[in-house]
Structure 1
Amino acid sequence: MKKAPYDREKAVSYAHQWAYGRNPQFYNFDLLGGDCTNFVSQAVYAGAGVMNPKPTFGWYYYSLNNRAPAWTGVEFLYKFLVKNLGVGPVGVETDMTQVAPGDIIQLASEGMAYTHSTVIVSVGASPSPANILVAAHTLDTDNRPLDTYEYVNVRYLHITHVNSW
């Protein structure tokens, strides 16, 4: 397995393009619990260029009924990225000082469960919740400062590279 770079510019460009719309190649999950992680997966896929087709524990989307739980589930995406030894993007949980555009932020707004995923589109010179800007679906947004969200916990996922054949 080779380590390939993650194309952050492509991920961010995709996020900007589709922040207020829906790519017709993907199902809109707004009425099935929310579209946030589906949108984030699409942006990460734009930057990674490869899916992981492993049944159940991979990260892929072919259709509404043929997709991995990690494509649309907040916790499943987290677990896939931080434990991925196969093909596809690889991430690490980090703090806000280590994030870059194209990375992911997940928020917990009720109790300890993480329920919302966003993609970072901009980071200020000295990262803070006020100058980390995100794009997201469910409540569609682009260039939204992190500090405008209400949350009780936050985790930052930095995409380190993409495993490829």
Structure 2
Amino acid sequence: MKKTSWLFALAVLLSGCTTVNIPSYIKDDHPQTQVIYANFDDTLEAVKQVLNAKGWTVVDETDPTVYEHSSIRDEGGRELLLFTDIKEHPYILGTRYHRANVFLRSTSQPKQTEMELRFVTINSMTFMKTKNYKHPRAAAQIFEAVNNALK
């Protein structure tokens, strides 16, 4: 009986009790930004293709001014916010969740678009979770792939 109780307690402990809420909008902690030398529409198509090729599914497109104020809109520029689906990676002690936001903003130059990437990674373990907003390697890979797609 004692052995069964310990096994049950161990099973409850290892099954996990954390709840993970991952919002669609990612705040601007550690955003990575790069100017893409192409017009807005071409950049948008290239970004969608690159994200899809890298396993990110774009689930929604919206106006970023819903979440934060931008002076670009006041100047008549275009901007768009892309939300990706959650990528889930299970591992031995828990699960890792990733989500990305891509902001596209037209600049005052005719063939330039500002691209900003924001990431959140949540590691969910049995009784704790950690959150990280840095992902410079993934951002560099996406920026490079978008630039290559536009050549």
Q: TM-score, normalised by structure 2?
A: 0.24
When Rg is computed on C-alpha atoms for both structures, the one with the higher figure is 2
Higher normalized strand content (fraction of residues): 2
